[in-house]
Amino acid sequence: MSRTKPLHSWDVTCREAVAIQKIFREKLILCDESPPVEIHSIAGADISYSRGDDRFFGAVVILSWPAMEILEIASSVAQVPFPYVPGLLSFREGPVLLKAFDKLKQRPDIIIFDGQGIAHPRGIGLASHLGLFLNLPTIGCAKTKLVGTFEEVDQERGCHTNLYHKGSVIGAVVRTKNRVRPVFVSQGHRISLPRAVEIVLNCCRGYRLPEPVRQAHLAVNRLREAAPPPCKTRISAPESDPAPSEIDSIRPHSKE
C-alpha cells in the first residue's frame, strides 16, 4: 500500500503541531462520496505501548467484508520522540501506524481506528489526521470520550445518541452490545456520521469493539508482549514548547 500522501513533517514542536491541526482540520471531508464507496475489505488500526518505554507498536489488520475474515496483518515498531501532550497524540501514534500501512500488500476500502476522529478538541484526532494521509474513508471508534456531552444511551445493542461539543454534533455514543459500555464513534475523513455508525455496528461480532479494531488490538498486544525489554531512555519536550496545560485540558491517556 503506497498511496500515502506526505502532507507535513512529523518532526515538529508542539506549537507547530497545533498549527498543523488547525490547517488540516479544514481539509476534512465529512460526508459520503456519491455513490458511497463499495466495501469489500475493511481495516482496523491500533497502537500499544508501555509506560516508561519510548517504543510504540502499531498494527493494521485487514478483514473481508462482510464476513470479517482476516486477510492481512501488518505491524511496525518505532521509537517516538514527540512528547506526550493531550490533544496531540496523533503526532506520537501517526508515524508508527503509517509505517504499518506502508507494509500492506492490499489497500482496504475503509479503516476504523481505535481512537478519535473529529471528536477532538480541535476536530482532528488520529482517524481524521491519518485519513488525510491515506486518502481513504476513516472512522474513529474510541473506548472513552475525549470531549463532548451526551444523553444516556439505551441498554440494547444498536442504540445510540449524539455526542455534542460547543453546540455541534461531533460523533455518536453507540451501544454495540447489550448492557455493555458504549463506544464513541466519530467521522474521520470522507464519511458521514450515520454511515460510520452503521459500519461500526455491522462489524461487531458479539464483542464491545468492532471486529477490525478488536483484531488490531489483539495483534498489536501480541507484538508488544513478544518484544525485548526496552532501553531506559526517556525523551522530553523541547524547552521552547508550551506545557501541556497551555494546549489542552484533556483527561490524560484518552485515545485521540
3-state secondary structure (DSSP) of residue 97: helix
In 3D space, the residue among 50, 17, 227, 5 whose CA is nearest the CA of residue 122 turns out to be: 17
Per-residue pLDDT tens for 101-130?
999 999 999 999 999 999 999 999 999 999
In 3D space, the residue among 225, 204, 208 whose CA is nearest the CA of residue 48 turns out to be: 225
- pLDDT classification of 4: cutoffs 50, 70, 90: confident
User: Which pTM was predicted?
Assistant: 0.91
Q: Which helix (H) or strand (E) holds 171?
A: strand 168-174
- pLDDT classification of 241: cutoffs 50, 70, 90: low
pLDDT over 80 at 239, yes or no: no
pLDDT over 90 at 234, yes or no: no
Q: Given the DSSP bridges, would you call strands 138-142 and 183-189 parallel, antiparallel or unpaired?
A: antiparallel
Q: What is the pLDDT of residue 31?
A: 97
Per-residue pLDDT tens for 18-63?
999 999 999 999 999 998 889 999 999 999 998 888 899 999 999 9
The single-letter code of the amino acid at 184 is F
Domains of the chain, residue spans? 14-228
Q: Considering the domain 14-228 in this protein, what is its CATH number?
A: 3.30.2170.10
Q: Is 206 exposed, middle or buried (0-12, 13-18, 19+ CB in 10 A)?
A: exposed
Buried b (16+ CB within 10 A) or exposed e, 137-148: bbbbbbbebbbb
Count of alpha carbons within 13 Å of 142, Cβ hemisphere only?
A: 27
Per-residue pLDDT tens for 136-150?
999 999 999 999 999
Q: What is the pLDDT of residue 229?
A: 85
Q: Supply the Cα-derived Rg of the chain in whole angstroms.
A: 17
